[in-house]
Amino acid sequence: MTKAWPWLLLALIALVAVANGFYSGQHKARQLLLNCSSELYDHDEQQQSKYFLLLDLQATGHDALINYRYFNTNGSPAGSVLLRGQITRGAAGVNYQIAVNDKQEQQGDGPTPEHMRFLSYITDVNLKKHAVHKMTLEVLDADDKQHFAAIRVQPGNGVYACRLQQ
């Protein structure tokens, strides 16, 4: 009977290895989809401008796509900035570090919102100097049952109300 234990242990280890291999092959990459919104106010000496910002974040596995879409108060597009990169770290689902390595921009109708000018400038500087623009997405509050999240994005310190898409 004592000679059977090594064989049973070996069989158990083999079973665990096969189950683990099967599960990891069936396991799909985690996907996150956030649809966020915010109101923006540009204050200058001559006029105060108001814009609406829609921020979409899609993450699949380690790939991240961040789309900033700006709108004038009449609903016409004021511009957009599309960022692509990799999620490099995540701390217990609260903070995500994103390394952006590609950016595309489109100008809209009328003047460019100050937030878009800042985002364009800072990403250009970092992409030209370091070939990467680092961002942090911090989940401030989330409720899976209500499909809601409040997030802060750095740089820029913007806070957004988001809808969690499943």
Percent of the chain at pLDDT > 70 equals: 76
The reported pLDDT for the residue numbered 96 is: 87
Bigger pLDDT: 103 or 17?
103
Bigger pLDDT: 104 or 10?
104
Domain boundaries, given as residue ranges, for the chain: 31-165
| pLDDT (mean) for 129-138 | 93
> Distance between CA atoms of 101 and 104, rounded to whole angstroms?
11
Q: Which residues contact 129 (CB under 8 A, 6 or more apart)?
A: none
For the chain, the helix, strand and coil percentages under 3-state DSSP, each to the nearest 5 = 25, 55, 20
Of the candidate ranges 91-95, 125-129, 147-151, 159-163, the one whose mean pLDDT is the lowest = 91-95
- Is the entire prediction scored with pTM above 0.75? yes
The reported pLDDT for the residue numbered 88 is: 86
| Other beta carbons less than 10 A from residue 155's beta carbon | 14
Average pLDDT for the chain: 83
